[in-house]
Amino acid sequence: MELLLTNVMNRLTYTVDGYSSMNDCLKRSPISIAAAVIYIVTQLSDDKKPLKDVALATGVAEGTIRNSYKDLFPHLSKIIPSWYAQEEALKNLCSP
């Protein structure tokens, strides 16, 4: 679990830097973006977590995470670097 948390935090730091350049997604609060990224990273990992667990852990409502995920989804290839997940893995994520 500690390794997963470290991976999530590293991924989140990288993502927030890349996300700030996407003007069309800036309507979301940073915590909403962070919660959505945590959800995405867990879905790309071997230790997948349900949306409900991410919502409980972050204090962000499931609907808010879902909506942030929808906003981020078209930009995943820009947000998630290829060293973390290949394009094929991104295509296998559930469409919002």
pLDDT 10s digits, 3-28: 555 666 566 655 555 555 555 555 77
Give the pLDDT score at 1. 47
Helices (H), ranges, 21-95:
30-44, 51-58, 62-72, 76-79, 87-91
Q: Please give the domain boundaries of the chain with CATH numbers for all domains.
A: 2-91 (1.10.472.10)
Tell me the pLDDT tens digit for each residue of 27-71.
778 889 889 989 988 898 888 899 999 999 999 999 999 999 999
Give CA–CA dist 75/81, Å, rounded. Answer: 11
pLDDT for 76: 85
